Amino acid sequence: MSVMLAIARHEWSRLFVSPLAWMLLAITQLLTGLLFALSLTDLSLNPQRIGEYDGVSELVGAGLFRFATVVLLLVVPLLTMRAFAEERKSGNLELMLAAPVSPFALVLGKFAGTMGYLTVMWALIGLMPLSLLTSTPLDVGLLAAGLLGLWLVMAAFTAVGVFISALTREPTLAAIGTLGALLLLWLIYALSTMDWQPVVLGTTLPLADAAEALSLIGHHDALLRGIFASADLLYFVIFTACFLALAAVRIDMERH
Amino acid sequence: MESDFKLRAQGLTRDYAGTRAVDGVDIALAPGEILGLLGPNGAGKTTTLRMLAGTLAATAGTVTLAGHDLAGEPQRAKRHLGYLPERPPVYPELTVDEYLGFCARLHAVPRRQRREAIAAARADCGLEDTGRRLIGHLSKGYQQRVGIAQAIVHRPDVVILDEPTAGLDPNQLRGIRELIARLSRAHSVIISSHILSEIQATAARVVIMHQGRIVFDEPLGGTSAPVVEIALREAVTADSLTGLDGVAHATALDDHRWQLTPAPGCDIREMIAETAAGRGWGLLELGAARYSLEERFAALTSRDAPPREAAA
């Protein structure tokens, strides 16, 4: 446990002494901040649009969180490529493999360190809609569900990234691979919106339902609409745990 | 006997995609011993050390560290191990203190002892004044020292250093040599190198590897019996020399000069003098030739070297 925390702390402090992490934080803030300002401007110019949504919280909050997910798609691969691929390339992974650390503690430590950084990013994004509390009543429950969803999406993306990072010794390859995998998760959601019901051997395959159940974005969408279901929560927990376990298995195979 | 050794490897073997990189290596390391692992490039030194450090699984064979089996209870065994890989595993963006702090936590050094452990490791490695400097700003020699400090910060029983002197200038080299000699007071050390003088300067025992096998394993410092060179007036046959008690090989250097290799542990000088006098060979010269490690290394590791057999 203490070793896991040591690795998490190490990962976190290394992120904050690297220009990459600060640059990513700055660009994410710039992009999400611009979108936040734009949606507020849009709202003040066309106040009648509020009727189509569940108030300001959904129009501004959920819109912002959806956009943040897209930004994360690009940010997370750049962070997780450092976790194992870069360490392997620099030879520093040997340091941890020769230390009395189990592969699980190693993977969890790396994951926790990266999540610590992303949580800072998450808090900064969350503060934007919450700042409206000073001027208008907000549906805090809706925002909380959306924020929880955003954090869970971060964790799931990071788990995928850590796993792919554990597969290779080229950081760029890890980044591209993670980006591809995350976009693929996105595509599965697109499948669920298609009206396509293939019939195989006389039975209609529930393709759309299956795609929605599997897709990360589908589960996130429910949370963005303010629906807090334990099924969605469990989906994210299982998804994240699976990829972290796969990463640990891969690191254990490192010696062979 | 098992517990007398800090590290013991038996029958270590490693295959890479069909080729055998390391074949049946046995190594035992006594407390406080410095063992030099010598071999030409590609002899399997790094592969062997990685298996000893547990970062590479052996295809066959076992490693025991301070009584713990490395494959069976890796976490326990690795607590007694400090390892410096070929490339020092340092983070250029961290300061020396931050880095050593992480390594101490990684090896579960208790919080209260951590500060002292870091200070002691820095003092041992001559890094007293560099605690707050970024590792990336240090010279290669100092980065190497940081790598060694990392390996000893948790005071392990066994320290494994893979080519710790590669790429250093002569002054840095001397510094690292002194450091390794100091380490042997509290740790058992294995160092590898392909440079003979490095091993001679530091190690008490030398193991030479060639093509994945151990071809030589002896203490340094002339405890082995010397090879004897003699000059005789009379012509004798090789058989009459190898027939003598304690003579393993006899090689003719020219018509009258012979080189006699003793059987392990035999000093044959006196016996040769008495026999030559008794049989009337006319002993003109008798000298003990202590072959340097370099000559033995060359003989053992050059692929085309003729075996030392009696010349007909």
Looking at the fold, whether B63 and B197 belong to one and the same domain comes out as yes
Radius of gyration of the CA atoms of chain A, in A: 20
CA dihedral sign, ordered B302, B305, B307, B311: negative
Residue B56, domain CATH: 3.40.50.300
Q: How far apart are alpha carbons A180 and A49 in whole angstroms?
A: 36
- Domain limits at B31? 2-219
For residue B169, is pLDDT > 90? no
Q: What's chain A's average pLDDT? A: 90
CA separation, residue B218 to residues B28, B35, B51, B88, B296 (Å): 12, 10, 22, 29, 12
For residue B2, is pLDDT > 60? no
The SS3 assignment for B163 reads coil
What's residue A147's pLDDT? 92
Chain length of chain A: 256
Q: Which 3-state string (H, E, C) describes A143-181?
A: HHHHHHHHHHHHHHHHHHHHHHHHHCCCHHHHHHHHHHH
Higher-pLDDT residue of A185 and A5 is A5
Looking at the fold, whether B214 and B256 belong to one and the same domain comes out as no
Looking at the fold, whether B150 and B123 belong to one and the same domain comes out as yes
Residue-wise pLDDT for A177-234, tens only, equals 999 999 988 888 887 777 777 777 777 777 777 777 788 888 888 888 888 888 889 9
Looking at the fold, whether B181 and B33 belong to one and the same domain comes out as yes
Looking at the fold, whether B200 and B269 belong to one and the same domain comes out as no
ipTM entry: 0.86
For residue B223, is pLDDT > 60? no
Partner-chain contact A100 B75, CB within 8 Å: yes
Q: Determine contact: A230 vs chain B, CB below 8 A.
A: no
In a domain? residue B305: no
Looking at the fold, whether B236 and B132 belong to one and the same domain comes out as no
Q: How far apart are alpha carbons B186 and B116 in whole angstroms?
A: 16
Which of B13, B16, B47, B55 should one mutate to test binding to chain A, selecting the residue with the greatest count of A CBs within 10 A? B55
The SS3 assignment for B27 reads strand
Residue-wise pLDDT for A103-151, tens only, equals 999 999 999 999 999 999 999 999 999 988 888 888 888 889 999 999 9
Which ranges in B125-166 belong to alpha helices (H)?
Answer: 140-152
The SS3 assignment for B255 reads coil
CA separation, residue B97 to residues A114, A224, B161 (Å): 22, 45, 21
Looking at the fold, whether B267 and B190 belong to one and the same domain comes out as no
Looking at the fold, whether B46 and B167 belong to one and the same domain comes out as yes
Looking at the fold, whether B86 and B54 belong to one and the same domain comes out as yes
In a domain? residue B274: yes
Q: How far apart are alpha carbons A79 and B251 in whole angstroms?
A: 67
For residue B214, is pLDDT > 90? no
What is the mean pLDDT of the segment spanning B277-290? 84
Q: Which two tokens stand for residue B282?
A: 């006319």
What's residue B3's pLDDT? 55
Q: How far apart are alpha carbons A129 and A62 in whole angstroms?
A: 9
* pLDDT band at residue B264 using 50, 70 and 90 as cut-offs: low
Looking at the fold, whether B151 and B260 belong to one and the same domain comes out as no
In a domain? residue B312: no
Give the residue on A whose Cα is nearest the Cα of B105: A6
Looking at the fold, whether B164 and B19 belong to one and the same domain comes out as yes
Partner-chain contact B106 A7, CB within 8 Å: yes
For residue B129, is pLDDT > 80? yes
Nearest by CB to residue B107, choosing from A94, A99, A256, is A99
Q: Are B297 and B198 in contact (CB under 8 A)?
A: no
Domain boundary, last residue among B193, B219, B245? B219
Looking at the fold, whether B199 and B240 belong to one and the same domain comes out as no
Least confident of A63-72, A217-226, B120-129, B188-197: A217-226
- The total of other beta-carbon atoms located within 10 Å of residue B108's CB is 15
What's residue B222's pLDDT? 54
Radius of gyration of the CA atoms of chain B, in A: 24
For residue B199, is pLDDT > 90? no
Give the residue on B whose Cα is nearest the Cα of A18: B93
A100 secondary structure, DSSP code: S
Q: Please tell me the total count of domains within chain B.
A: 2
Partner-chain contact A98 B53, CB within 8 Å: yes
Residue B249, domain CATH: 3.30.70.100
Q: How far is A102 from chain B (nearest CA, A)?
A: 7
